[in-house]
Structure 1
Amino acid sequence: MAFLSSPEFWIALSQIILINIVLSGDNAVVIALACRSLPPHQQKKAIVFGSVGAIVLRVILTFFAVYLLSLPYLKLIGAALLLWIGVGLLKGEDGEEEMEGHSNLAAAIKTIIIADLVMSLDNVIGVAAAAKGNVPLLVFGLVISIPLIIFGSTLILKLMNRFPVIITIGAGLLGWVAGDMALTDPATKNFVEAHHYLHNILPALGAVLVVVVGKWLASRGEEPATADQPAA
């Protein structure tokens, strides 16, 4: 249990929790849509069973991601993917599709599990990157994410709508983790060791890149809507 006294452990755990909070908005919407046609007494069951099943699959996927990220060049690919996810988060295009509500409990649970699995790639990559191969940290972070998803979905959405800065901070964090991930790829190990300054520059550059590009693309996406408004 000595790792509990390590500042690095708590910093990484905080990153995992924030990544889960920021990236669970899609999953919260999926849960709400899948359960909206159920009788009230079945909605809570669908949320609990569907979320638990989805998280079990997410844990399995994340363990695979931790292993894959130990192979050469895959961390560089993962870093690029994290940058793309962070930019997309600020751009505001999550690719959510319309989802049919179910009046059957089993069908709603199945929909929640499958949809969460498909939409959890960003969570899996982000959590695996923040954990940096630390299995106790990985398990701890994922266990903490369970109540966040089951009980905190509505609160998360309300907080994001009320305090948009949470989304910006989360996107910047993904960029920071992406830069840090690129530094630890086996293919770049020797180069990074010869240039120690990259440890400070690359993560910060990743965070700035995500926020600047994401905000720029978001502003471009708002321009056509403004231009299409009829003149008074």
Structure 2
Amino acid sequence: MGWMTSPELWLAFVTLLMLEIVLGIDNVVFISILSGKLPAEQQGRARIVGLSLALITRLLLLASLSWVIGLTAPWVTLFGHELSGRDFILLLGGLFLLGKATYELHHHLEGADEDEDGAGRKVAGFGAVVAQIVAVDIVFSLDSVITAVGMVEQLSIMISAVVVAMGVMLALAGPISSFVNKHPTVKVLALSFLLLIGGSLVAEGFDLHIPKGYVYGPIAFSVLVEILNLTARARRERRRAAARAAAGSGAETRTG
């Protein structure tokens, strides 16, 4: 842990930590969408289990760096592109995200299913939700660890950054999940974000690198606009409530 006294290594740690948190937003959004399909009493547990498994996966991958690095070696050539094990994992993960986000958008916009609870929301099984979280965790974890290996050499820095980033995501998962599931338009934006992430993963699988800013920027702007819309709507509702209260008070005074 000699890096604790080195300003250069501290800078590397902070930089990697910020990048891990940004990369983890995808995972938090996906977990928020899936956990929202569970009964309210199970949603918090699903988020904790999902992020805990993501942390375990990242630590296991960091503990087997030689195997992870070996995944970047070409396996086969397809359509003129050399595909590695990492590419195959990104392709499968991207296709899964595209399919899952499209499915969720369809059911969110077209209406509820037959198997629903009283609130009009489809009830999913806890095991099925956790299994889907684990499947996507593997993809996000692999991308996260390969990014960490490319940035720093000290394993202790990688592990520290991953653990702290996961703690931050665990703290944010609850509020993000509540916000996404409370506002239908935000949920549509979140699902659209997953579509973009799925498309970028498929592109990465074919060695077509899409800068993260092109993916995160439009969604961040859309979310900001929607937050402004929600704020304006809340203000209008408060004014209407105050006007109704004033009208009711005036009517009582005249009656008296």
TM-score by length of 2: 0.47
Shift of residue 112 of structure 1? 1.0
Aligned length: 147
2:24 alignment partner in structure 1: 24
Shift of residue 126 of structure 1? 1.0
Give the aligned residue type for 1:117.
I
Alignment of structure 1 residues 82-161 onto 2, 5 Å: 96-97=97-98, 98-99=100-101, 103-132=124-153, 134-153=154-173
The 2-side partners of 1:112 and 1:210 are apart by 24
Cα shift readout 1:82-140 (whole Å, capped 9, x = no counterpart): xxxxxxxxxxxx774225686222221221111111233321111122231x1221221
CA distance 1:210–1:27, shift in 2 (3 Å): closer
1:52 alignment partner in structure 2: 52
Cα shift readout 1:161-190 (whole Å, capped 9, x = no counterpart): 9xxxxxxxxxxxxxxxxxxxxxxxxxxxxx
Give the aligned residue type for 1:13.
F
The 2-side partners of 1:155 and 1:141 are apart by 22
Q: What SS does structure 2 have at the residue aligned with 1:61?
A: helix
Give the aligned residue type for 2:124.
S
2:83 alignment partner in structure 1: none
The 2-side partners of 1:22 and 1:109 are apart by 22
Is the 1:28–1:154 contact (alpha carbons within 8 Å) kept by the matching residues of 2?
no
The 1-side partners of 2:22 and 2:51 are apart by 17
Give the aligned residue type for 2:46.
A
1:90 alignment partner in structure 2: none
Gaps of 5+ in 1: 75-93, 162-208, 220-232
1:9 alignment partner in structure 2: 9
Is the 1:54–1:113 contact (alpha carbons within 8 Å) kept by the matching residues of 2?
yes
Gaps of 5+ in 2: 74-93, 105-121, 180-185, 187-208, 219-256
Q: What SS does structure 2 have at the residue aligned with 1:13?
A: helix
TM-score by length of 1: 0.52
Give the aligned residue type for 1:130.
M
Is the 1:102–1:108 contact (alpha carbons within 8 Å) kept by the matching residues of 2?
no
Alignment of structure 1 residues 181-200 onto 2, 5 Å: none
Shift of residue 10 of structure 1? 0.5
Is the 2:16–2:161 contact (alpha carbons within 8 Å) kept by the matching residues of 1?
yes
Poorly superposed stretches of 4+, deviation over 6 Å: 154-158
Identity %: 24
The 2-side partners of 1:15 and 1:31 are apart by 25
The 2-side partners of 1:130 and 1:113 are apart by 25
1:62 matches 2:59: no
2:43 alignment partner in structure 1: 43
